[in-house]
Structure formats: C-alpha cells, structure tokens
Structure 1
C-alpha cells in the first residue's frame, strides 16, 4: 500500500491547508496528516500573508511529492479519475477548472481583509471597499454555477474541486458576518454543513493558539 502524507499548517487559519485536505479526502486517498509547528518560518509567512509562494499543503504519495493546491488537485484527478474531482462533461470540466483557478490566483483584497479564522465571529464587521468587489464577484460565480448546474454544489449534486477551493471563503463569510443574497447564503450553509467541513472545523476548534500575531482584535 502506498503511504501518503499531507503536510499542512494551521487548521484554524490556513485556507490552503483546508483546500488541500478537502481535495485529498474527496479523492478517497488514504493519508496521514502532518502539521507544521507554528514556529516554522514558512508557516508563519503563509498565515501572515508575507509570502506569495509556500510549500504547504504538500502531498507525499509514495515517491512523489506535490505542493500547491491546484497541482495536488491535478495530480489526484489524474491518479484517481473515478473520484470525480472535476465534472465528466468537458465543458463543465473546463468551467470548473476556470472557477478554481480564479480563486487560486485572485481575490487578494478579500484574503487580506478577511483572513480565515474558524474560531472567531465578528458581527456587523465593516468590510472595506476593495474586498466588496471580490465578494460581489464570488457571489456572481456562485449564482452562475448554481444556475447552470442546479446545485446544491457549484457543479451539481456532489462536491467538486470548485467547492473545495471556495470552502474557506464560506467560512470567512460566516466569521465576518458578510451579508449575502439568499442563494449565496444557502450555498454557504451547504458548504459549512458538508460533513468534511464539519470534521475539519471540529478539529480546528481544539487547535492551540500558537501564532500570537494572528490573535488580533478587529
């Protein structure tokens, strides 16, 4: 049996670790999770938004090492095509990859203004204008996908790569009490109640506060 390890940073703060973990679970991969210490320099750089490139999440699958969330997704899609990480239809598959890629490379204002923090809740949080444009674009993506593929997930009746990529955004919407239209709210709640998300959040709740700079007041 191939021994696999997924290296992550914080469960509470790291959106990329969450995405990588979801993708591995969705692929049906049997893997162990290894968490880097909060004192690790690359972990701190990622979580404090000081580095545009970092090596977590990182998947070791046998003798193969893959980092970067989309690279992990592509590798697992090729290795486990039966898992259905992307839609079977070629047009829907291209759309799914485009939507996932937009999250991977964009929405910088939202990332900076609304960092992931599963333990926090900030009612009536004031979102600055730059992040509002990102939120509007994400709501448009949700509406377009739900219109085309009939939900409850972005590409139909089962989660896909796109849902894994946007899942951390749904946690941000809850943490910062972002007001959304009804359809986007329903999708957010679908993701937050997704069993894999519930499992991740329950584990994150018991994670120690190791990174002092992120224990901030808003």
Structure 2
C-alpha cells in the first residue's frame, strides 16, 4: 500500500496535489502527516526525505518526492485513470500547464499563501499578483470553453492539471477573488468533490486542535 507523507492540510499546497489524486482515484493509502513549523519538523522530514521536503510517496522500495513527480508516477501506476489527456497534443498542453503551475506564479504564492480555513478578502492590489491571477483565469476559461462538453473538470475528466491548480482554487476562495462563470463553476465543482470536502474538513479539524508553534 502507498504511504504518503504530507504537511499541514490547511497550508501545504504541495501536499494537497498528490493526496487529491489518490483520493479521487479512491485508492487506499497510508497518510503520514508531519506538522510543519515545529522544532522537530526538519528532523522528521529529513528522516524520510534527504531533500527536506514534503510530500513524499513511498511505494515499497520506491520513494518519490516532489508533487509533480508523484503525480506522474501515479499516472503510470493507474493508466486507466487517464490522468493526462489521451490525445497527444492535449497531453502536451496539459503537461505544459502543470509545469507552469509547478514552477511559476511566485507572486501569488508569496502574497496569497494557501490557508484553507482562512477568509481574508483582498483589500490591496499588487501588479504581479494581479498578473498571476489574470493568467490563471485565462487558462481556466480557455480549458473550460474547449472541454465543457467533455465533463466538469479542466480537460473534461479529472486529471493532474486539476490537482495542480486545486490549491489555487482554495486560495481564490480564501481571498475572495472574483471569477468569470466558467472558472467559478470549475472551482465550485472541484471543491465540492468528496475528496476536497474531506481535505477541507480535516484542515478545519487540524486548525481547531492545533497548538501554537513552540
């Protein structure tokens, strides 16, 4: 059985991505949560990953770190799930978007960090953040316009691109970002899935029972 080592559900955007893939696949796995921002956090993470990062997926003797690498591995484990689009051109497009999300949007990450349970409507404006938001909305609108007849997710059926953008969907709720109807419909559908509702519920329980950092 897979073991997935993750960080706090309220704030660890990278942990959400592979966790969501496994949950949407309804694949049983052992979840190991390492609480972040604690005196022993670094030591605990280094004990499972010398790179010092979570998430980490362990499958027998195989250990994979980095969210996108884990998602790629799960795609290979479950080819029938078609986590990438079947069409080669669409698959290349999806991989490009996942990589863009993986490596980009630094201003959004810095100024609008993931806080699943928080509600902080934006009152100030930041040009770089606004550009990141505009680019993300443009991606979502293009994909939904093209694939709306194929299903409710970005490429129609659920896939890695949805998982990569899932933390942004959460952020846009946290910071009350106005979205066009098609993008809002995708956010509402994604966050309403059984898997995301579980993540949100467990993030709330985590926050409610959390002790302050020592």
Question: What TM-score, normalized by structure 1, do the two folds share?
Answer: 0.85
Using a 3 Å threshold, how does the CA distance of structure 1 residues 22 and 184 change in structure 2: closer, same or farther?
Answer: same
Contact 2:3–2:58, Cα closer than 8 Å, also in 1: yes
**Residue ranges of structure 2 left out of the alignment (5+ in a row):** 46-50
Q: Which has the higher helix share?
A: 2
C-alpha RMSD over aligned residues: 2.1
Aligned partner of 2:152 in structure 1 is 152
Structure 1 segment 86-165 matched on structure 2, within 5 A: 86-150=84-148, 151-156=151-156, 158-165=157-164
Deviations 1:45-78 (A, max 9, x none): xxxxxxxx75211000111000001110111111
Q: In the alignment, which residue of structure 1 is the partner of 2:83?
A: 85
Q: Does 1:75 align with 2:76?
A: no
- Per the alignment, residue 180 of structure 2 pairs with 181
Instruction: Kindly indicate whether the alpha-carbon contact (under 8 Å) linking 1:143 and 1:184 is maintained by their aligned counterparts in 2.
Output: yes
- Rounded Cα–Cα distance in structure 2 between residues aligned with 1:55 and 1:27: 24
Deviations 1:141-164 (A, max 9, x none): 0011112212521101x2111001
Structure 1 runs (4+) deviating above 4 angstroms are 210-213
Tell whether the 8 Å contact from 1:27 to 1:77 is kept in structure 2 after alignment. no
Deviation digits for residues 82-126 of structure 1, max 9, x if unmatched?
122111111111111111111000000000110111111123543
Q: Give me the whole-angstrom Cα distance separating, in 1, the residues matched to 2:171 and 2:190.
A: 12
- Name the count of aligned residue pairs: 202
Instruction: Give the TM-score of the pair, scaled to structure 2.
Output: 0.87
2:55 corresponds in structure 1 to 57
User: Which has the higher mean CA deviation after the structures are superposed, 27-36 or 74-83?
Assistant: 27-36
